[in-house]
Amino acid sequence: MRAHVELIHEDDYIWHVGELPYGEGKVRERRLSVDEEDGSSSLSLDFPADWGRGGGVPHANTEFYVVSGSLSYGGTELGAGGYVQVPKGVPMDWIKVREGSRVLHWREYGDCGFDPDARRWADAVGEVTVLDSNRMEWTEAPSVGPLTPLYIKLLHRDPKTGFYTRLIRAKKGWTDHRLAHHPCYEEFYTLGGKMAYNFGDIDDGTYCFRPAGVKHGHFIAETDIDWIIRSDGELINWYTTEEWVKWGGHAENYDDHNHDHLPVISTLPVRSRSRGAWTGDGM
């Protein structure tokens, strides 16, 4: 299980040497969210020099999304908005990334292991997906759910599990005052725009990983805003209104009328310094 991360800005995180075995060149990574039990990771990659790797088989469901710069997959050149998904155990072609590029990278249900020039695993399911999202049309989300329309570009969906990756756009003024939670996890990385939110301000480079069942809400889009969003199953919105929390007790030796003295709920999410203090709104 990964920790509840909400919100962090990636610029508050340190760089590590990138874990992309058998690659040649330079790559570094910010670890936005990691599951130390199975190796699942959500990473922001930076390429100080050209980098590349030959074909082989990844040990995890693997995704790349180009934020800026250029990535080539098997000879297909992808700029900002380019997307590659490779199922676990399925051979992938060679990949090259140009110096100065920024790429989001996910590994799901496995670690960074990679077998060069290997054959397809016997139990592998699916095929490689390569997309230029700029060539896709935005489609309006179904009206059931958010109070005002959202727009979607579906990048990948597992037909068996419902696991999906998609781009989401909210227009300026999009709002939903309700609290929602889901039966699946939900994570997002903000590609552009600004939104006021109960966990803190959302802007370019902000990231969230929210385990199943965690409430969130009170959204107001201050500009048009785009995210890349992933969930490990069918995303159903369960809404809460007129929310309340049973929380308290007798204050023995502190002032229970002084906000600075009050205890906080022990399950606070991981936050980074630029997001500032959080009041607990929405929980």
Question: Which residues have C-beta within 8 Å of that of residue 244, sequence separation ≥ 6?
Answer: none
**In this predicted model, what pLDDT tens digit does every residue of 252-281 receive, in sequence order?**
787 878 877 776 555 678 877 787 777 776
CATH topology of domain 139-243: Jelly Rolls (2.60.120)
Q: Please, where in the chain does CATH 2.60.120.10 lie? A: 5-135, 139-243
Which three-class secondary structure string do you get for the chain? CCCCEEEEEHHHCCCEECCCCCCEECCEEEEEEECCCCCCEEEEEECCCCEEECCEEECCEEEEEEEECCEEECCEEECCCEEEEECCCCCECCEEECCCCEEEEEEECCCCCEEECCCCCCCCCCCCEEEEHHHCCCEECCCCCCCCCEEEEEEEECCCCCCEEEEEEECCCCEEEEEEECCCCEEEEEEECCEECCCCCECCCEEEEECCCCCEEEEEECCCEEEEEEECCCCCCEEECCCCCCCCCCCCCCCCCCHHHCCCCCCCCECCHHHCCCCCCCC
CATH superfamily for domain 5-135: Jelly Rolls (2.60.120.10)
Residue 174: closest CA among 204, 198, 153, 194: 194
Cα dihedral 230, 233, 237, 242 in deg (nearest 10): -90
Q: What is the pTM of this model?
A: 0.90
Residue 223: closest CA among 275, 176, 170, 274: 170
Contact 158, 165 (CB under 8 A): no
**In this predicted model, what pLDDT tens digit does every residue of 140-166 receive, in sequence order?**
987 555 667 899 999 999 988 899 999
pLDDT at 62: 98
pLDDT of 246 above 70: no
Region 31-54: mean pLDDT is 97
Cα dihedral 175, 106, 186, 248 in deg (nearest 10): -110
pLDDT class of 283 with cuts at 50, 70, 90: low
**Among 30-44, 120-134, 190-204, 229-243, which is the least confidently predicted range?**
229-243
- Measure the CA–CA gap between 214 and 198, rounded to whole angstroms: 13
pLDDT at 143: 59
**Among 6-15, 95-104, 137-146, 260-269, which is the least confidently predicted range?**
260-269
pLDDT at 264: 58
pLDDT at 253: 81
**In this predicted model, what pLDDT tens digit does every residue of 170-198 receive, in sequence order?**
999 999 888 888 899 999 999 999 999 98
